[in-house]
Amino acid sequence: MKYKIQKLLNGKVLHFKFKNQKDICKTFIRFQEYYESPEFAGKIFTLSEYKTWYAKEYGAFTYYKEWNGFNIPVKHFKPFIDGKFDPLKKRERKIVDEVRSSKAKYVIATHRKADFEHELTHAIFNTNTKYRFSIICVLGKSKYKKNIQEISKFLAKEGYNPKVFMDEINAYITDQDKWIFDKVSIDKELAKELIELRKEF
């Protein structure tokens, strides 16, 4: 497992840059799913338990081929640091040690250059109060209500936890991700507002 570490946004963010998809997914699966899984968020669970649930929910365990980037607030590493996920995998322990020794507030991980801006947008949304407030104000406009509901419904089907819908809608739209634009209609005016706001930060 090889990765590089970058400190971003004046040390607020730790960026783990991996060389391949399998390594990043095997390393971050429990961290990410403890944070936002619709089934396991906030729960202590084994990798085996998660794999069994995932396969039953989606027909097969394809997680290591599905995801390319991860983003997690540092506070969600606490149960891993406190030993509640004992035993940790060796690869998990390395990340936990890096997070524990840092002063970061947010962690992102990528293995493709294309995913960096998406994950960085999550980090800014969660560490910059002004940016977060501005984005929420745009997403809360009544004229976008129906479109937001449509996008949220799509994200729910894809396995996202409702608590991160606003965060994900913003990140996917601002990096103009072809995946979501091909799957669901995005209001052009909404996209323009979000993209212009992102450029300011």
The model's pLDDT over 120-142, given as tens digits with 9 standing for 90+, comes to: 999 999 999 999 999 999 999 99
Q: Reduce the DSSP state of residue 46 to 3 states and report it.
A: coil
What local confidence, expressed as pLDDT, does residue 197 receive? 96
- Per-residue pLDDT band for 148 (boundaries 50, 70, 90) equals very high
Distance (Å, whole) CA 181 – CA 185: 6
| Residue 176: φ, ψ to 5° | 50, 50
- Per-residue pLDDT band for 79 (boundaries 50, 70, 90) equals very high
Distance (Å, whole) CA 66 – CA 8: 26
Instruction: Give pTM, 2 decimals.
Output: 0.92
As a whole number, mean pLDDT of residues 52-62 equals: 96
What local confidence, expressed as pLDDT, does residue 177 receive? 85
What local confidence, expressed as pLDDT, does residue 1 receive? 76
Q: Is the dihedral of CA 163, 159, 171, 81 positive or negative?
A: positive
What local confidence, expressed as pLDDT, does residue 44 receive? 98
What string of DSSP letters covers 89-149? PHHHHHHHHHHHTS--SEEEEESSGGGHHHHHHHHHHHH-HHHHHHHHHHHT-GGGHHHHH
As a whole number, mean pLDDT of residues 16-45 equals: 97
